[in-house]
Amino acid sequence: MRFILTLLSLFLIFSTALFSGGFQINEHGARATGMAGAFTTSYAPISIFYNPAGLAYLKGTNFSVGTTLIFPSARFRGPYQFNTTQETKMVKQVFYPSNLYLTHATEFGLAFGIGVFNPYGLGSKWPEDWVGRAITVESDLKTFYINPVVAYKLADELSIALGFDYVYSTVTLSRKIPSFTPEVSVKLSGSGTGTGYNVGVLLKLDPVSFGFSYRSQVKVNYSGTADFQKSPVLDPLLPGGNIKTSVKMPDIVMAGIGFSSENVTFELGYQFTRWSSYDVLKVDFETETSAQQDQTLERYYKDVSIYKAGLEYRFGSLALRAGIAYDQNPIDDKYVEPSLPDADRWEFTFGAGYTFGNLTVDLGYMFVRFKQREVIGTLVGFDGVYNSSAHLLGINLTYKIF
């Protein structure tokens, strides 16, 4: 049965879809969203995500809750291997990474805060019977970061912060094995946890300020199950069962230079995501058979940068915001596949905030325009053209408790 041993394993090559690039989400506060995420020199409860050192400049106790509705759309034309430019549209879905922040500043320059947000996530869904079903049908990855932080004002101009990340994540990936008639449906699902930390520094030299924050890599160890919907004749080959894998959520550096006056803030921001930590993905099967074997998949993502600029103008209780960002994708052409049709992109944002007494309502809108991406020579034999765009709508309610 040598041939079965060596061959059937091919059926199981995991969707390269597993965890794809740009599955980073940077919108964790409507105010920052309105400014294209250039928020390292500003301070608000949402600074826990962007630069926790900002907490030291907040007053009293603050609470903020919000969400970002993400409406992505994508289409694929191809595959060229079939000499076709037939178009397939991704199934419409709405995602809502949400956030929750609580901060408290003492009079001694010491501030505490805790934030919950979803900085890595991904969802894509293609028609069940589409031409790329052997690669991916549906992918869904969610991460929940629980991030307590301590910030300390060393001087009126300088604050620092340190935080701890506890991460819970879930993942579900489904696709088809079309080698057989009837086809086999594969669903891998799991959950896991990991830990990390974050630090921040904010230097305020009026009117110029410098912000820097770092969030460490978090290795999430997943355990879950592989389920196969299949003909019983495949039972001995594809028993399914428990699986294990781990993914390193990459570390992030954010830096910014802010210029502010009484009613204007302008920030030029830079973000670096060390995606190169995502090099290989190993999937371990508890039960191995000739067809169901451990897999090591090559990913080899590239480190990427985001360049952003954000502006806020305050008219008393009202604030208006705008921003623009250029976001690079970490995936080389040959690894691009439809579970995450990633591409370099421009992001345009608008936002507004209004304060009623202790309550502030912030809205942020972002339009993401991915560059049209034509990929040739993909490892999965799926060359073609991707066009994607997304609308994001963020809202946050912030309440100053006292």
Partner 1 sequence: MKSKIQFSGIFAVLLIFSFAFIFYACEEFSEVGTPPSLGVQVDFSRIVAIGNSITAGFQDGALFESAQQYSYVNLIVKQINSLGKNVTFVQPLISEPGIGQRLYLRSLSPLNIEQRLVTGAPKNSNHPSPFNNLAVPGAILYDVFDTTDYATKSIQRNNPFFQIVLRSKAFGPTMFHQAKILNPTFVFFWMGNNDVLGYAASGGTRGTDPTGKLPTPDVIFQLLFRQAIDSLLRINSTVKIAVANIPDVTVIPFFTTIPWFIVDPNTGKPVLDQQGRPIPLIGIKGGSPAQLTPNDLVLLPAGTLIATGYGLPNVPPFNQLPNAGRPLPDEYVLDANEVAVAKSAIQKFNFIIDTVVSNPARAGRVVRVDIYSRLNEAKTHGVEIAGVKFTTDYITGGIFSLDGVHPSSRGHGIVANEFIKAINSKFGSNIPYVDVMSLPGIQLPSSSVAQGKYLLPKVPAEALKNVVELFTAR
Please report which helix (H) or strand (E) contains residue 3, including its range.
helix 2-8
Nearer to partner 1, 151 or 291 (CB): 291
Q: How far apart are CA 310 and CA 36, in angstroms?
A: 6
Nearer to partner 1, 83 or 155 (CB): 83
Q: Closest distance between partner 1 and the C-beta of residue 306, in Å?
A: 17
Q: Closest distance between partner 1 and the C-beta of residue 308, in Å?
A: 13
DSSP, collapsed to helix, strand or coil, labels residue 125 as strand
Nearer to partner 1, 55 or 177 (CB): 177
Q: How far apart are CA 357 and CA 176, in angstroms?
A: 55
Interior CA angle at 191 toward 186 and 196, to 5°? 140
Q: Closest distance between partner 1 and the C-beta of residue 156, in Å?
A: 23
Residue pointed to by tokens 């600074």 = 47
- Encoded amino acid at 366, one letter: M
24: DSSP letter: B
Q: Closest distance between partner 1 and the C-beta of residue 313, in Å?
A: 6
The count of other CB atoms within 10 Å of the CB of residue 388 is: 22
Nearer to partner 1, 183 or 303 (CB): 183
Terminal C-alpha separation, the chain: 73
Q: How far apart are CA 185 and CA 77, in angstroms?
A: 24
- Encoded amino acid at 334, one letter: K
Nearer to partner 1, 200 or 323 (CB): 323
Nearer to partner 1, 71 or 82 (CB): 82
Nearer to partner 1, 156 or 298 (CB): 298
Q: Closest distance between partner 1 and the C-beta of residue 377, in Å?
A: 11
Partners of 267 in the β-ladder: 258, 310
Nearer to partner 1, 182 or 357 (CB): 182
Determine phi and psi for 83, rounding to 5 degrees.
Answer: 55, 40
285 Cβ contact partners less than 8 Å away, ≥ 6 residues apart = 226, 241, 242, 243, 292, 293, 294
Tokens found for residue 169: 């994540």
Q: Closest distance between partner 1 and the C-beta of residue 116, in Å?
A: 32
Q: Closest distance between partner 1 and the C-beta of residue 124, in Å?
A: 14
Q: Closest distance between partner 1 and the C-beta of residue 370, in Å?
A: 11
Q: How far apart are CA 136 and CA 131, in angstroms?
A: 10
Please report which helix (H) or strand (E) contains residue 239, including its range.
none
Site residues for partner 1 per CB under 8 A = 1-8, 10-11, 13, 15, 77-79, 81-85, 131-136, 175, 178-183, 231-237, 261-264, 289-291, 311, 313, 322, 324, 337, 346, 348, 367, 369, 372, 374, 379-382, 384-385, 387
Tokens found for residue 43: 């301070």
Specify whether the CB–CB gap between 207 and 196 falls below 8 A: no
Q: Closest distance between partner 1 and the C-beta of residue 136, in Å?
A: 8
Nearer to partner 1, 191 or 290 (CB): 290
Would you mind telling me the total number of residues written for the chain in this entry?
A: 402
